[in-house]
Amino acid sequence: MNVYRCETCGNEIFERRAVCPGCLDERFVEVESGEPEPFVSSMLTVTPAGFEDSYELIIGTLGKTKAIYRRV
């Protein structure tokens, strides 16, 4: 998975934003952060239309930030 790293302060975020929450710079570089390390998960069994009947939603550490993702 990839993260966006601020070119000025090195802060990393999972979802790209207009500005860095650390220093307000607008310049990011996309970097590979490897696989996230899960620390909490939840199995969803009531899902919106168009999704599988159930899937696992996970919050994990990815580089210097956190990511929310679905187990594939």
9 interacts with Zn ion by CB under 5 A: yes
Residue from the set 17, 19, 22, 41 that interacts with Zn ion by CB under 5 A? 22
Q: Using the rule CB under 5 A, is 3 a contact of Zn ion?
A: no
In 1-72, beta strands by DSSP E:
2-6, 12-13, 28-32, 37-44, 55-62, 65-70
**Other C-beta atoms lying within 10 Å of the C-beta of residue 19:** 12
Q: Report if residue 21 touches Zn ion, rule: CB under 5 A.
A: no
Q: Using CB under 5 A, count the residues that bind Zn ion.
A: 8
The two most distant CA atoms of the chain are separated, in Å, by: 43
| Positions in the binding site for Zn ion (CB under 5 A) | 6, 8-9, 11, 20, 22-23, 25
